[in-house]
Structure 1
Amino acid sequence: MKTLRLPLILLVLIALAALPWYGSDTLVQFGISTLLLAVLAQGWNIIGGYTGYPSFGNSVFFGLGAYGVGIAMVQWQLPFAVGMAFGVALAVVFAVLLGIPVLRLKGHYFAIATLALAQIMAAIVSNVPLAGQNIGLVLPPLNDDRMFYELSLILLVAATLTVWWLTRSRFGFGLIAIRENEEGAVVMGVDTTRYKVLAFVLAGIFSALAGGIQAYWITFLDPASAFDITLNVKMIIMAVFGGPGTILGPIVGSFILSAISELLSSEITSIAGLFFGIVIVVAVVLMPRGLADVVQRFHKLGWRYFVDNIRTNRI
């Protein structure tokens, strides 16, 4: 089974890379948004899935990356690549300055502490003239969906390879040790503060790059859209649905949920708004470890897998 995994992944990657040449414009645009959501889910997977810290503040990094590109291109007339670097720099500085104090909190205290970050940052940016305040910024248009699609795919591959490296590196083992037993990790000699901050920074880098691509693709930027808290909810749901703490789980979750959400939005709009709420309940009660765990254990336990989870996670 494992011998077939790599060729299958390569075939899927080739098919995705070729999509702009055989797919419709609508499909390519859907692909861009889905790939960027997968990047965000994979970035959250680093801090939430492998480190065990459920961050609700990763959308702040997305917004900082978007504003880095917007400010560089609109206010300073600099190239897109410079704007991406500026956005990443903003995200890294923010992750370090915020991560050192906030990552000392644990569990729901950490989640609550990060929950309001997006709204706070939106309020700050809306009062900064360089960022366009509440009016926002209009970026120079570039009608090249193929380029944005390929950039998004490359970014997703880079994020996934980084997660794959985590599963085989000392740094990644340290993050897993923190997730399983942080006190035990300290006893084993893991510098937990440094590891957690680095994981937060790594998640912030990929989120910021996704935000930069999104900003240039959409060509409009304002505080409400850049620091949208629902974006953070989506990336968490997609990672949890696919399987947190796995390499491909967040990607599979993003692709499946994005496709279903898009179908419901176009066919049954009244249900589309409730979709992610339903997914949360299903994921928490029936498969708290995501689809990846279902694939691994269902053939052994059968339907008892879901029965056991319902008993354990009953409300």
Structure 2
Amino acid sequence: MTAARILLALAVLVALALLPLYGSDTLVQFGISTLLLAVLAQGWNIIGGYAGYPSFGNSAFYGLGAYGVGIAMVQWQLPFAAGLAFGVLLAVVFAICLGVPVLRLKGHYFAIATLALAQVMAAIVSNVELAGQNIGLVLPPLNDDPLFYELSLGLLVAATLTVWWLTRSRFGFGLIAIRENEEGAVVMGVDTTRYKVLAFALAGVFSALAGGIHAYWITFLDPESAFDITLNVKMIIMAVFGGPGTVLGPIVGSLILSALSEFLSSEVTSIAGLFFGAVIVVAVVLMPRGLADVARRYRRTGWRYFIENIRMHRL
């Protein structure tokens, strides 16, 4: 990374960090939601973008992180930080215990298996008295949006630095080898099972932290919202739109799609979902490897880049 890029990144980070000082309350709240979605997209990027395993179960980690904070603060009267740690512990244990058998599956079998994880966890939590069963939990209110904004921004920075580390570490190279050719990675001496489980757990850590922050921000938890499968769809779409397997792609995808969704919801509420879905379909057809790939190849190929993708999809 050149010095100019580092300075640009620092300038953007400072501008984002100071947003609560010059932005409206609505903008800060939008920022919290967008930053947390970007964290989820980065977490999915670890297992889906780098390891090549399209997980539909990361919302289970999000829910565990949220309930970790809820149970710790409401039932045990522990501080928020202890709740975050408890949520992360739950997510890591869940990732290790479930990751070993589930990550032996591949392709659509793996996707279907992980799709059921969130639904199973929602059913379990609905019957646990400690978690409030179907009624849910009401957390103590803390009306401090700037604090939650800075926490969300800090978590996104940590997640992005972790993904950047993957691009330069032995562990990251092992994940890329698994994505490109898992059988070949085994021949090269990569412990694929251990690498995949660690990637699954690492994705779970960031998803759980995002869930914990969001739970304390909205102060209410119930199984349906905590383990919402549509949240997993959003994080995947944002990561794929920006560019899976890249450092900044999921962040760019989250910012653009969140802003577009917010604009459509406020301006044309009746057909916002239709427009948003159409944008996703067109983006996947024209640039299936995301905006990051467009930025790399468009200068060389121009409009032929999009034509090649259309031909590849036989449209």
Same fold by TM-score, threshold 0.5 exceeded? yes
**Is residue 61–residue 204 contact of structure 1 (8 Å, CA) maintained in 2?**
yes
Matched ranges for 1:138-153 at <5 A = 138-153=138-153
Matched ranges for 1:233-244 at <5 A = 233-244=233-244
Does residue 71 of the first structure (1) align with residue 71 of the second (2)? yes
Which residue of the partner structure matches residue 163 of structure 2? Answer: 163
Which residue of the partner structure matches residue 98 of structure 1? Answer: 98
**Is residue 138–residue 220 contact of structure 2 (8 Å, CA) maintained in 1?**
yes
- Equivalent-residue separation in structure 1 for 2:252 and 2:245 (angstroms): 13
- Equivalent-residue separation in structure 2 for 1:256 and 1:124 (angstroms): 35
Q: Deviations over 1:208-254 (max 9, x none)?
A: 00000000000000001100000000000000000000000000000
Displacement after TM superposition at 1:20 (Å): 0.4
Q: Deviations over 1:166-194 (max 9, x none)?
A: 00000000000000000000000000000
**Is residue 46–residue 245 contact of structure 2 (8 Å, CA) maintained in 1?**
yes
Which residue of the partner structure matches residue 13 of structure 2? Answer: 13
Displacement after TM superposition at 1:4 (Å): 2.5
Which residue of the partner structure matches residue 210 of structure 1? Answer: 210
Q: 1:235 is aligned with what amino acid?
A: M
- Equivalent-residue separation in structure 2 for 1:255 and 1:85 (angstroms): 28
**Is residue 95–residue 200 contact of structure 2 (8 Å, CA) maintained in 1?**
yes
| SS at 1:244 equivalent | coil
- Equivalent-residue separation in structure 1 for 2:36 and 2:46 (angstroms): 16
Q: 1:52 is aligned with what amino acid?
A: G
Which residue of the partner structure matches residue 281 of structure 2? Answer: 281
Matched ranges for 1:48-63 at <5 A = 48-63=48-63
Which residue of the partner structure matches residue 119 of structure 1? Answer: 119
- Equivalent-residue separation in structure 2 for 1:279 and 1:178 (angstroms): 31
Displacement after TM superposition at 1:279 (Å): 3.5
Does residue 307 of the first structure (1) align with residue 304 of the second (2)? no
Please list every run of 5 or more consecutive structure 1 residues that lacks an aligned counterpart in the other structure. Answer: none
Displacement after TM superposition at 1:94 (Å): 0.4
- Equivalent-residue separation in structure 1 for 2:78 and 2:67 (angstroms): 13
| SS at 1:41 equivalent | helix
Please list every run of 5 or more consecutive structure 2 residues that lacks an aligned counterpart in the other structure. Answer: none
Displacement after TM superposition at 1:3 (Å): 4.1
Work out the number of aligned pairs and report it: 315
- Equivalent-residue separation in structure 2 for 1:118 and 1:62 (angstroms): 9
| SS at 1:52 equivalent | coil
Displacement after TM superposition at 1:142 (Å): 0.2
Query: Are the structure 2 counterparts of residues 61 and 275 from structure 1 closer, same or farther at C-alpha, using a change threshold of 3 Å?
Result: farther
**Is residue 51–residue 196 contact of structure 1 (8 Å, CA) maintained in 2?**
yes
- Equivalent-residue separation in structure 1 for 2:169 and 2:262 (angstroms): 37
- Equivalent-residue separation in structure 1 for 2:10 and 2:306 (angstroms): 32
**Is residue 42–residue 250 contact of structure 2 (8 Å, CA) maintained in 1?**
yes
Displacement after TM superposition at 1:276 (Å): 4.3
- Equivalent-residue separation in structure 2 for 1:240 and 1:21 (angstroms): 32
Q: 1:170 is aligned with what amino acid?
A: R
Report the TM-score when normalising by structure 2. 0.98
Displacement after TM superposition at 1:123 (Å): 1.0
User: Greater CA deviation, 263-272 or 247-256?
Assistant: 263-272
Q: 2:305 is aligned with what amino acid?
A: Y
- Equivalent-residue separation in structure 2 for 1:250 and 1:261 (angstroms): 16
- Equivalent-residue separation in structure 2 for 1:167 and 1:83 (angstroms): 31
- Equivalent-residue separation in structure 2 for 1:311 and 1:96 (angstroms): 41
| SS at 1:274 equivalent | helix
- Equivalent-residue separation in structure 1 for 2:181 and 2:91 (angstroms): 28
Query: Are the structure 2 counterparts of residues 151 and 228 from structure 1 closer, same or farther at C-alpha, using a change threshold of 3 Å?
Result: same
Displacement after TM superposition at 1:7 (Å): 1.3
| SS at 2:204 equivalent | helix
Displacement after TM superposition at 1:275 (Å): 4.1
- Equivalent-residue separation in structure 1 for 2:279 and 2:67 (angstroms): 31
Q: 1:225 is aligned with what amino acid?
A: S
Which residue of the partner structure matches residue 133 of structure 1? Answer: 133
- Equivalent-residue separation in structure 2 for 1:117 and 1:264 (angstroms): 31
Report the TM-score when normalising by structure 1. 0.98
Does residue 227 of the first structure (1) align with residue 227 of the second (2)? yes
